[in-house]
Every structure is written in C-alpha cells, then in structure tokens.
Structure 1
Amino acid sequence: MHSLSNVSLPLRGRIGQFLARLAPLAILYLLLRNDGPLLGLTERYGTPGQFVTYGQWGIQSAIFYGFGYWLFPRFLYQFRPFALLIILLTTYGLVYVANYVGFIALHETAGFPSGYGPNSAMTQNWKLLVAKGPLGLFVSLPLFIWNFMLSFAYPSLLLAFKALYDNRSSQLQNTRLQYQNTQLELKYLKSQVNPHFLFNVLNSIYALTEEESPRAAQMVQQLSGMMRYALYETAESFVPLQKELQFIRDYVALEKTRAAKRLDLTLELPDNTGEHLQIAPFILITFVENAFKHGVENTSKKSWMRVVAQVDGVILRLEVANSKPATQPVKPGGLGLENVRKRLSFLYPAHKLQITDEPAEFIVRLTIPLSPVQAVGSQMNASL
C-alpha cells in the first residue's frame, strides 16, 4: 500500500495558514490601486478619492474573509441554501448602500464625477445611482451589475480559488483519514494474535497448576476472565451490568490475594441482575481501584475496605469505602476520579456522586439510573 506519510495539505502549518489568510489583503489592494472601476479616484480627487479606494478595500476584504471563513463553511459547505441566499442578498444590499453613501460623499467633497466626460460609463452610472437612490439595485439591473463589478468581482475571484483550495484540502484530509483507519484496522487484526497466544498460555498454566495449586489455578482463571472481558466484551458503549460486576469480583479477588491477611474486606454485589440492565464498561472499577491503591497498598498495617452494590429496579447504588493510612493522607480528585466524573456527567447526567474524605476513611457513594437494553438502543439511535 502506498504510504501517505509524506502527503501534506497545501500551505499546511501556522506559517502557511498565516500567509494564505494575509495574501488576499495584498492582492485586493494591488487590484484596486492599479486596475478596475476605481482607477484614477486617488489621482483625480486626492484625499477624498483615496478614502473611497480604502473603503472599497475594506469592503472587499470583509466580503472575502466573511464569506470564505464564516459564511461558506457554515452554509454553503453544509448545504443550507435558504439561509445562504438570505445572507447573500442582505450583504449585497448593505454593500450597495455603503457604495451609494461613499460616492455621494465623494461628489459633495470633490465634485465627482467631474473629469470623466458626460458620456463616460462612470458619469452614466453616477446619474443612474442618483436617480434610483439608496435602494436602486432592486429596481435597476444596471445598478445591480455595477454593484457587483465594483465590490464583488475581485472577492468572487479570490473566493473561487479558496473554494478550490478548501476542496483539495478536504480531499487530502479524507484520504489521510482513510489511510489511518486502514492502518488501525491492520494493527487491530495483528493485535488479535497476541491475546490469542496469551490466552492459550494462561490455559496451559491453569492446567498445570489445577491439581498442585488450586489457588494459583483459580487466580489464573480469574485473570483470564478479566482479560477476555476487557478485550472482547467491552467494544460496545454499554455492557450487561452482571458482567461488569463479575469483572469487579475477579479484580477484588486478585487484589485480596496480594493483600493477604492484612485486609479486612467486605464485598456485597448482586448475584444476578439479568441481561436487561446495561452500564457503561469500567465506569465503576475506578472507585474500587482507587480504594485498593490509596487505602491498602500505601500501608503494611491492617486495613479495611468495603464494596457494596445494590440494584433497586433500574437504580444502581454503589458504596466503596476504605481506611486511610495515618501517615499518608490521600487527597480526592486524582486523575482517575476526574476522568470518571467526566464520563458520568456525559453518560449519566442524572447521577449522584458523593465523596467523603475523613481523616481515617474515604467513602464514595454513587447512584446511577441505569437504562434497560431497549432504552439504551433507542438512545444510541437517537444520537446518530
């Protein structure tokens, strides 16, 4: 497969983007100063003519940047034609009024359009502008065309180039994303070999230790179940609650083996919650891990820990409490707790989380309104 590591977007990076956004200002200024309908205003009318030229530069720059970086991305590229048309017509009318006011002011201060001749196009446009008034473009096709040629022609040309640039950038970005997705799929397929090999090894160890060391065999079996759950059964957004609780049981059993006899553990979890209740995977284990990490592993003395979960209808209540070492106080709000707070706020806005940090103990009380599997499916479909 052809590598895209050397493929980059045009004018990529901060410097390229800065130059791409600054260049239209210089291009519009050069066009207005050296060509187009404003030719000679500065030379003919001095400072007033220069003000009109600079005013057009500002108007055309606003059209380019407003359309190119705000209007088109929100309405044209997302195909919202009605709103796009309304904004375009409104902008067109406002620009025409600004042009009308500018040339009236130029006439009053410098006598515009003297010097062009009575039959010149500039003089004829001026007479039509005065005759039709501030809203003349709605009743006069020549004024409509004049307004476009005066203020929209150059920005439209630059916007056409920008649209080509945006399209090219989008194509390259999509190609890069497709390539990255393909690479991720390949890496995922390759990664399946290693867990399969590891599970075979664990099964072999289990078979060897089952008779001589039943306790070790049980630990291997628990570890294998935890790994299988983490690798293969948590790909979906929600998993059956009973599988998540079984994962906690296996984790606590392994940690209790490490802590030996210095841990006084109370574990009360529902035996069977059925398949109808679903929960986000690994949303509860963080609190249990935190209790072991800060309440058991930080001391060699006797410690205690309590994990109690209750299910009342579709309401899950979890309490995790642990003793705290007297010489090493633990502060709540670590990275793990902060991450789980964010997940709870996103997935379960109606949850209640209470954390009590006392000198001798740390207690977490969590209440989550669970969703049956049918409701979860409906929520997922509604969010797509």
Structure 2
Amino acid sequence: MNNETGIPVARSGPLTGVVILDLTRVVAGPYCAMLLADMGATVIKIEHPQDPDLTREFPPLQGADGNAISGFFAQYNRNKMAVSLNLKQPAGRQTFLDMVRKAHIVIENFRPGTMEKLSLDYATLTEANPAIILTSISGFGQQGPNAPRPAFDSSAQASGGLWSMNGTVEEPMRVGTVLGDLSAALYGAIGTLAALREADRTGHGQWVDISQQDSIISLTENALVTYTATGKITVPEGNGHPFVKPYGRYACKDGYVFFGAYTDKFWREACIVFGDEALITDPEIDTMAKRFNPDVHDRRVKPIVEGWCARHTKAELEAMTGARFPLSPIKGIDEVVADPHVRQRDMVIPVQYQGVDFEVFGNPVKLSGGTCEQHASAPGVGQDNEAIYAGWLGKDEDELETLRRNGVI
C-alpha cells in the first residue's frame, strides 16, 4: 500500500508517514533508525554504490563464499528500504537534498565535520526543509576539543569510565557487548522522537547531538556522584556490589545464579524457601543493615547463601524461588534463545535478508498497538532505487540512466 508519504510500504504503526533518511553504518546509527522503523517509520538506508555498509560482510554469515549473507546486517537493518547514492558527486548531493525536502528526519554517524565537507551540514538541510531533524551520533559529540577524534564502542567505554569500573580489581574489563553503540542508539531514538514532536508543534526541526562517551557516562550509575560528593573513585567489584549484600553470583550444581535477596522482606522469603526459618530472627543477621556489614556478610551470610545454591541446579532454584525473591540463572545465549518467556515476548524473531532466514533479537519497546518487527526483511544494496527515485522523487528513466552511468546511484 502507499502511505501518506507516497512511498509504497506494507506496514503500519505509530510512526507511519514519517520518512527517515538513514546515512548510517555499523551499529549505533543503524540500530537507532531500525528502532524507529519497527514503530512504522519509512526508513530509507542510503549507501555509497561502491562502498556500502561494511556490516553486510560481518559474521555470522550464511551461504557460500562470495555470496555470503550477514545475519549481523539483517539484525540492525530490518524494516528498511535501501538506495545507493554517491553524496560526493554534485548530482548525488542534489538528489539527497531533493529527498530531504520530502523527509522528516536524517540520521548520520559520520565523524563530526563530514557532513560539512559534503556540503550537507544542518544549516544547508534546513534551507531545503526548515522542519528537518538531523540526528548525529558520534564518539565524542559535535562540540568540544575531542569532537574530531575517531571512536569505536570501546573508545566510549574507556573514555566514559565504564571500563575502569567493570571486571575485577586485578583486571578491569570492557563490558562484553557494544554498550557504547547500543546506548547511543537508544538515546538517539529518544532525542529524535522529542525533536519530531517539537517539529510537529512548531514546524521547525532540531539538530540532535548524541555522543557515545556521553551515553556511557550516563550508565555509570552512582560512580560520578560518589566521586564528586566524597572523592571516592569507583573500582571494579567483580560480581558483587559495593554495599548491597547478599547480591551477586553464586555457584550451583550446573552453573551459576544471581541471588539478590538482600532486603528484609526478600531475606525472610529466602530463609523460608530454603527451610532455614530460624535465620529470620538470628540477632546477628536479622536486619538488612547488619547483613550489609562486610565482616558479617563474609563470615555468616555468604556461606549460608553459598550452601543454599550449591544443593540445587539452576532450573531447580528458578522453580523454587518463583516470584518470591530475585534469583535468576546466569544463562548462556542458547538458554536465552530457548527461554519460553523470551519467546512469548517476541524477543527472538525471524528476519529475511536476500533469501536467507535469520533469528534476531526483537524490539524491547512493547506498544499496546503493536510494532512492526515481526516477519521483517533487510534490504539489498540499492534494491529500492526505482521505487524511491522514480516513484517518490519523480525522476524519469533518462535521469535514472544518467545517474547510473555516472556512478551516482
């Protein structure tokens, strides 16, 4: 069907009618745009015809060498259309500005200054469309002395303080996923939606500036305020917590669980579940404050919890505790994928990319009206050139052939 944009789509959702031009690559930008696509926005992924998104070659790959299809790309680019366009050529720049005039949002994650070099800076975009929103995701933001520096996810984890406080005292470690990219994508989506609301109200767009370093700093919990208030520098705590106890990883018969029954209410429930009701009134450990004491915890509480967990398997512990207090098996990704709760919440979903089916993570935003990620597909390079350039922009075949011949699309 055609929505009000005039672009042929077969989906609906709360962002139906919103057109997003996606200039992004790798994770942070593509994930931001994909979240909005899952909510119904028409996202047009724009790639250089000779240098498309490099994650099209990232593992896991399915298919023969030379024709391998990337599940990584499929996961972050579902529900998008795709066109090829060389922005470095004048005709490519002009074609992009023609698209901007009819779009609502542009998302890019180039290094700061790149859009200016392409003569596609925010001021230029607003000349074409005063209501346009430009969302820029970068390592260190658009302003500040470090803005021009190149960055990856680990750059943000290192410079934002997270690396220094994760792992063990002996060996600080990066978080084992691209949290700098992913958190920047989430903040990018939030900022974009806020700017969209303002543009709807006033007719004027905004420049949304998202830094991976900023995003990581905001995820360091109480480390920053603890330092500014007390001068204490947060260091890695391993699998424990700086003051909440018992709260951490405990071994069981077939692996590990997280045990978090530290409040008086939850501690009472744990004592009952494990048949140690006498511990509820034990004068040395009968209050949360007493159990928080490091000496009391290490001498009394920790051995008790270790004994409770060691007698059971992960599944037994999960079944025993139920909804009574926080206890979760530490699951491998294979167990996560098989978890019926995860499946029921559509957090493992099918996506097709160039004839290959993948299972990827779903959208964690659950709307009562639904989102659009189920049975989505990811686009091939330039697969929607005809629909966008001819059907949406109105270029005729002669114009398209000239663009093809000159390497613009």
Q: Tell me which interval the TM-score lies in, with the shorter structure as reference length.
A: under 0.3
**TM-score, normalised by the number of residues in structure 2:** 0.20
Larger radius of gyration: 1
**TM-score, normalised by the number of residues in structure 1:** 0.21
Q: Which has the higher contact order (CA 8 A, sep 6+)?
A: 2
Q: Which structure has the highest helix share of the two?
A: 1
